[in-house]
Amino acid sequence: MKVITLIALLSVMFIGVIYGVLYATGDTPADMNGSIVGVCQNDQMMDYSSSNSILVDGVVTDGNQHGNVSVIVTNETQIFKKQGNKQISSSFSSFKPGQKVEIQFSGPIMESYPPQVRAGQIVISD
């Protein structure tokens, strides 16, 4: 009886370790998936305090909410473009209306109209 209990306990621990490794090495799921509706680039000559942003129509995965969200793109935002299975570094100038994007937030969604959020990472998937 002790042997069966020990084998069962070790099996559960082994499955937990495998799951933890797979979860830790897997991709972080996007907080929002959608399409770019508009691109707003800050005029660096006129205003140093405001950031670039994109307006995205899509689904916020937490809560499955659909709508437009103003995504603030800062100097810390990582921007990539998918090419096959690879992600190649990109820049704000790559954004075009109609492109599909996957966004990871770097903070809470600010309750305004439209809602605003800072992006930690944006992947252009189109």
Q: How far apart are CA 34 and CA 17, in angstroms?
A: 34
At 85, the pLDDT band (50, 70, 90 cuts) reads confident
Q: Note if the pTM is more than 0.95.
A: no
Amino acid identity at 58: G
Statement: residue 72 has pLDDT above 50: yes
What are the pLDDT digits (tens) for 89-115? Answer: 999 999 999 999 999 999 898 988 899
Task: Give the residue, 117 or 29, on which the prediction is more confident.
Answer: 117
At 25, the pLDDT band (50, 70, 90 cuts) reads very low
- Residue with structure tokens 């508009």? 38
Going by the DSSP 8-state scheme, the letter that residue 98 receives in this structure is T
Class of domain 32-124: mainly beta
Statement: residue 19 has pLDDT above 70: no
Q: Where are the domains positioned within the chain?
A: 32-124
